[in-house]
Amino acid sequence: MPSEQLSVSSLRYPSVLYATGLGSGLLPKAPGTWGSVLGVVLWVLWVGHFSLPVILAITVIAFVLGLIAIGTMQKRFGVMDAPEIVIDEIIGVWIALLFAPMLWWVLLLGFGAFRLFDIAKPWPVSWADRLHTPFGVMLDDVLAGCLALGVVQVALLIVERLSV
């Protein structure tokens, strides 16, 4: 359910613009999925083309900015983990795609595995989701991204072994 205080007019605040993934989190129906789609698009067009140290730096900076944006939104609007906040999904997808080649099926697998773990919230994702802090909002998706990273890497290993 969308937060009553967050709307398109809220995008004038940099914290809302950032935390909602340039407004993608304000799209109707499944904002986390839209944020994840934006994460994949940003990966394909920008983030995924850098070296690993640069990707990690971008991800850490995006994480810290997410903490700041969510904290600012909490103070201004009284929302913590509103569904419209999707910067955490964007970062989670980036983590899922670390070390992955730019192949359509790998991107789709990373996206799907991340969404599965983000929605199902197995432990430790469920633990982080209960923190109810800006760090918790970000951490549950980081952990879902790590689980999805494992799935992607195992799938790549299997494909490599079968190709020999």
Give the whole-angstrom CA distance, residue 140 versus residue 135: 9
pLDDT band at 9 (very low <50, low <70, confident <90, very high): confident
Distances (CA, A) of 7 to 19, 20, 66, 77, 121: 13, 10, 19, 11, 27
Determine what percent of the chain falls in helix, strand and coil, rounding each to the nearest 5: 75, 0, 25
pLDDT band at 3 (very low <50, low <70, confident <90, very high): low
Give the whole-angstrom CA distance, residue 33 versus residue 40: 11
Q: Is the pLDDT of residue 150 over 70?
A: yes
Percent of the chain with pLDDT over 90: 86
pLDDT of residue 4: 55
Distances (CA, A) of 20 to 26, 38, 122, 159: 7, 11, 24, 36
Give the whole-angstrom CA distance, residue 2 versus residue 22: 16
Over residues 147-153, mean pLDDT: 98
pLDDT of residue 118: 97
Which phi-psi region, left, alpha or beta, contains residue 121 (left: φ > 0; alpha: ψ -120 to 50)? left
Question: pLDDT tens across 12-63, in order?
Answer: 999 999 999 999 999 989 999 999 999 999 999 999 999 999 999 999 999 9
pLDDT of residue 1: 42
pLDDT band at 80 (very low <50, low <70, confident <90, very high): confident
pLDDT band at 77 (very low <50, low <70, confident <90, very high): confident
pLDDT of residue 6: 78
Give the whole-angstrom CA distance, residue 67 versus residue 48: 22
Please answer whether residues 20 and 84 qualify as being in contact, where contact means their C-beta atoms are separated by less than 8 angstroms.
yes
Give the whole-angstrom CA distance, residue 40 versus residue 36: 6
Give the whole-angstrom CA distance, residue 154 versus residue 57: 25
H or E stretch covering 33: helix 31-45
The pTM (predicted TM-score) of the whole model is 0.94
Segments making up each domain of the chain, as ranges: 8-162
Average pLDDT, the chain: 94
